[in-house]
Structure 1
């Protein structure tokens, strides 16, 4: 299980932009580590399942709506979790649940919330509580949201299927290697191959 952007294909579909729910979820009481991990993994699994269904049937608008609604709900739940418990680091909730939290954040389509998490994620990385790759994804996400160039090339334009503008592209391979990311060319080739299989 790795953080990824499997939704590029979904986002490229007509109407693929996430919708926001009118109401926020009810407040949650503080939860145990096991409960938080289980909740995060359940949301991640639901997102993956709904996304696969939507990509398999691109003409089925109701499937896209289901993904949009689920992602909006998941983002709101994660916001409450972060507010009450801090960022769900690998050390706090386990590697897979922390990856689930990262993926939910990347899919949230809530710039204010996403930007507010950058320093929280970075702090857990610096403390050795989360892997550096988590910080790379969030740093790139926030850079793109703010109209800046990203450093690691993790944020892909879903229509063009290529990275958003990259800062200092000559040294991106070294930066990616340092945080555990494969060469960008390999990742793009894999994404394009996946797209071709779906056509």
Structure 2
């Protein structure tokens, strides 16, 4: 992946990314650090070349294996919610996918741990993220429902696919004062974007938005 591919031209240029960020601001994203990172991440390298011209539309796009790259607004919204209480040191991401959300997180937190059940997708994501010289990411091919206990507890956990209920293992791996951002609900029905905050032995939850994600599946698989 050469430098010109990373920079982009025409419909994948810096100017196009700037317009995307302007739309995100108009839609309510306020965190200036999140907006700055979104302006710099070349989303077109995270999708197939055949649809790269659509990379800066504010829409989800297919990435293969029945998965999608999330709508930029949702990536920005979930990241903003995660960071709303202040800087985070270590964040667990459930669902590496194509690596786009990972790329955003890696530039905003000290360390990202990311789990993907589909090995093929994670290998592709790792190559893209290496090309961006993001070296504060650790990868695991495994089951997102189980989290990554050995690396916890986590200041933040972000889930990029929707379970029917919040996985208990993820709550258990959340640090005191930590934040879990997760879509919950039926794949073809209503889903709520939830914020779970751990305060000692207490959990506080809030519905942040209505969303639509692919279902969170147990794994792993090739």
The normalised TM-score by structure 2 is 0.28
User: Higher helix proportion, which one?
Assistant: 1
User: Higher strand proportion, which one?
Assistant: 2
The normalised TM-score by structure 1 is 0.31
Q: Does 1 or 2 have the higher relative contact order (CA < 8 Å, sep 6+)?
A: 1
